Amino acid sequence: MESVSIKTEKEIAVMAEGGKILAGILEELKKMVRPGITTKELDEVAEQLLFKFGKPSFKGYNGFPSATCVSVNEEIVHTVPGERKLEEGDIVSIDIGLEYKGYHSDMATTVAVGKISSIAEKLIEATRKSLNMGIKEIKPGNYLGDIGWAVQRSGESMGFGVVRDLCGHGIGKKIHEEPQVLNYGKKKMGMEIKEGMVLCVEPMLTVGDYNIKKAGDGFSIRTADGSLSAHFEHTIAVTKNGHRILTSL
């Protein structure tokens, strides 16, 4: 296993610059979400904006062909944007990464397309809350298990499945670094959290159970039972007294 890279204050400052830019780009994409737009149209705008400031982290990564992952309804993550048109009542997860001055930032959000069902609304809110509960556990002296425990407890207490076969990760000069940041776990277990770590926490919740399956294209991952899924993610630096969300405006 690779060791976990500890970032300097200077490196974290660069990552915060990139993260703020990325958050701004994601805001622009959220405004575009409406019935009738294709997932490819969202991706094309994202790619233009990402290249304006740096380059897309995902394009070409393990052969992935696009700048963003745009996953609709039962699609959880890694869906390649295409000709699919968004429809009223859909929910769409947009996952996006930027390489800026040699460092990556990574974030995701799930957005309603027009008016959505009450269960879809509840799912989005629960996933956002699970992310926030996980982030609260990030501080020196806590453990990665504390993050997973908080995410799992929050999601399951609201009646949703918490996907286990996908996880968050460290980030820096590479888009995916050690350690893995699981969305389930036990308190005080796993690696100790240290100042200078930069972590991506990314809960994925489902209306059904947490089992997943890969689509025929080799990239898209969806719920095995076809139920709705939502996904939120932030890039977070561990500071002396707690944490700093780098992908925020």
d(CA 161, CA 132): 17
225 assigned binding-site residue:
no
176 assigned binding-site residue:
yes
156 assigned binding-site residue:
no
d(CA 20, CA 16): 6
165 assigned binding-site residue:
no
Q: Which residues of 89-128 are buried (b: 16+ CB within 10 A; e: fewer)?
A: ebbbbbbbbbbbeebbbbbbbbbbbeebeeebebbbebbb
202 assigned binding-site residue:
yes
Give the DSSP per-residue string, 68-118: EEEEETTEEE-PPP-SPBP-TT-EEEEEEEEEETTEEEEEEEEEE-SS--H
**Binding site residue list for substrate:** 78, 176
**Binding site residue list:** 78, 95, 106, 169, 176, 202, 233
**Binding site residue list for a divalent metal cation:** 95, 106, 169, 202, 233
